[in-house]
Chains A and B, each alone.
Chain A
Amino acid sequence: MGGGASTVKPTTVPERLAVNSFRVDEEESHIVVDQELCRTTGSGAAIIAVCPAGVYSEQDGLILVDHAACLECGTCLAVAAPGALTWRYPRGGFGVSFREG
């Protein structure tokens, strides 16, 4: 087994996202959280845990959303309690564009 020097370079989420191609919709966000429901249902913690892009974070009890980083998998919606999250695909032509897939 390898190890030590010969490893694949560790990367942070922002570094990984930086190699992707995105066209960010500056006018509207495709993600809206209901702060109250996110808190009371535990959905806030759940969406932070599952999101591979680090779109969600918590600050002073509020869920912050960085919709520009979204990889459009829909995982957050799948774990959120009904109503806690409004999530749809970005408008046509916006969002991530995979070049490999």
Chain B
Amino acid sequence: MTSDAAGPDFDVVVVGAGIAGSVTAYRLAERGLSVVLIERGDVPGSKNLSGGVLYGRVLETVFPHYLNEAPVERRITRHVTTFLNADSAVSLDYSADGLAEPGNAVTVLRAKFDPWLAGKAEEAGAFLMPGVRVDSLLTGPGLDGATTVVGVRAGDDELRARVVVAADGVNSFLASSVGLRQKQPTNHLAVGVKAVIRLPRADIESRFGVSGDRGAAHAIVGDCTLGIGGGGFIYTNTESLSLGVVLRLDDLLRSGHTAIEVFEHFTQHPGLQQYLHGGELIEYGSHLVAEGGYPMVGEVAMNGMLVAGESAGLAINSGLTVRGMDLAIGSAIAASDAVVEAVAAGDTSKAGLAGYRRRLDESFVMQDMRTSARAPKFLERNRMYGPYGELIADVLQNAFSLDGTPREHLLNVARHALRRSPLTLRQLISDGWAGVRAL
């Protein structure tokens, strides 16, 4: 595959056949560029893992009929948020069938979904190279003297391209290798520990109150993570559940617990057995999540290279939802449009590729990253993960446990509960305000 130094082998090398990479490759190939899509897994998706709720409207702009074609699991029509305490739980249940038409959110399993997406890129003419790990970038001096990426190296092979799109995911080794990304502080990252358990369709439907192709997404905070910043999730697939915890690394390290202990505490939590019991474990995995928010997004372009998807730090954890897949798609749209423009103009320098950042800034991707810019800070308020759930449970216990004593007005109940709680009214107000502003 070595070529003489002069000409590129392809217009574009895309590294990583995840969500960002496959959508980028598809859109470039559609527009007639020669594209190679390199993936370290034997099959696209085989290295990938997410909680699984895809906010898919943006994918519809690329594949209008993906809901009928793609291997999606269920359309989410029910979002349940649970504050879980050691022996009580408070849930907020939002269900709306309108969420199914058109699909707002669907569950996906990445080992099934990603091959479909990469297949779309192949059909459009992209050349997929699975089972190949890119080891490093090929660089040279650019016209402006700054480093220019001219291709990639995998083992003894070198592939040259006008543009490299690094869509290699949250660890983003490629962007780091050329100084576009720094080592992230531990409060910018969380580890997701996930299991998939098989459960008969009928059990899923009766336990989660859904039917047909409808599904539920449960977000769980509080005792399920032993108070560690992050949360738990249970999402319904067609015949299985995706469940797990997302734990912020700084908090996990401080807690003295291991990730394994927290995961096991979650899956054995008495408050969750009504959903999980009898399920058969069919997979266990883990993956990092970028949680640094807007400050974590650094430079996304340099001479000859763009960084897309989570490798650019594009992910949002609002505490109740983790979003990364839709942002990966949004960034892929921006990246592919910018590359087409740059290649057509014959200028793939950083300046020539500047259309990427501009498009990102104009799109929902950066707007949502900015809106949630305060969310990570808000989530660092640890009270969110313990005392609140207990406070609400205390109020509701008073309201619902009729023990013969005269009922108090709910407001008084709340005042008394607050007095018993380690929280102060001032904290409550400040957190509430921070939360409203951040979420």
Q: Which listed residue, A1, A20, A48, touches B258 by the CB 8 Å rule?
A: A48
A19-40 vs B, CB cutoff 8 Å, 1 = contact: the mask equals 1100000000000000000000
Interface size class for chain B?
Answer: 35 or more
* Contact of A100 with B240 in the complex, beta carbons under 8 Å: yes
Q: Which listed residue, A13, A77, A93, A101, touches B171 by the CB 8 Å rule?
A: A77
Point out the residues of chain A lying under 8 angstroms from B274, CB to CB: 1-2
Q: Which of B132, B184, B195, B286 has the most CB of A within 10 A?
A: B286
Binds A, one of B60-68, B97-105, B107-115, B351-359: B107-115
Q: Which listed residue, A11, A48, A101, touches B111 by the CB 8 Å rule?
A: A101
* Contact of B253 with A7 in the complex, beta carbons under 8 Å: no
Point out the residues of chain A lying under 8 angstroms from B110, CB to CB: 98, 100-101
Q: Which listed residue, A6, A52, A93, A95, touches B191 by the CB 8 Å rule?
A: A52
Q: In the complex, which residues 48-92 of chain A have their Cβ closer than 8 Å to any Cβ of chain B?
A: 48-54, 71-75, 77-79, 82, 88-92
Q: Which listed residue, B42, B191, B278, touches A73 by the CB 8 Å rule?
A: B191
A-B contact count (CB 8 A): 161
Q: Which listed residue, B186, B258, B267, B277, touches A2 by the CB 8 Å rule?
A: B277
* Contact of B288 with A74 in the complex, beta carbons under 8 Å: yes
Point out the residues of chain A lying under 8 angstroms from B195, CB to CB: 16
Q: Chain A interface (Cβ within 8 Å of chain B)?
A: 1-3, 6-11, 13, 15-17, 19-20, 46, 48-54, 71-75, 77-79, 82, 88-93, 95-101
Q: In the complex, which residues 249-266 of chain B have their Cβ closer than 8 Å to any Cβ of chain A?
A: 249, 252-253, 257-260, 263-264
* Contact of A52 with B189 in the complex, beta carbons under 8 Å: no
In the assembly, what is the distance between CA of A99 and CA of B288, in Å?
18
Q: Which of A20, A48, A71 has the most CB of B within 10 A?
A: A71
* Contact of B273 with A52 in the complex, beta carbons under 8 Å: no
* Contact of A8 with B197 in the complex, beta carbons under 8 Å: yes
* Contact of B258 with A6 in the complex, beta carbons under 8 Å: no
B117-160 vs A, CB cutoff 8 Å, 1 = contact: the mask equals 00000000000000111000000000000000000001000000
* Contact of B42 with A74 in the complex, beta carbons under 8 Å: no
In the assembly, what is the distance between CA of A50 and CA of B285, in Å?
13
In the assembly, what is the distance between CA of A53 and CA of B184, in Å?
22
Q: Can you name 19 A-B pairs with beta carbons within 8 Å?
A: A3-B270, A10-B264, A20-B283, A49-B257, A49-B259, A50-B252, A52-B191, A73-B192, A73-B285, A75-B259, A89-B47, A90-B133, A92-B132, A93-B42, A96-B285, A98-B111, A100-B109, A100-B196, A100-B242
* Contact of A52 with B42 in the complex, beta carbons under 8 Å: no
The chain B residue sitting closest to A30, CB to CB, is B133
* Contact of B111 with A8 in the complex, beta carbons under 8 Å: no
B382, CB-defined interface residue at 8 Å: no
In the assembly, what is the distance between CA of A79 and CA of B251, in Å?
12
B34, CB-defined interface residue at 8 Å: no
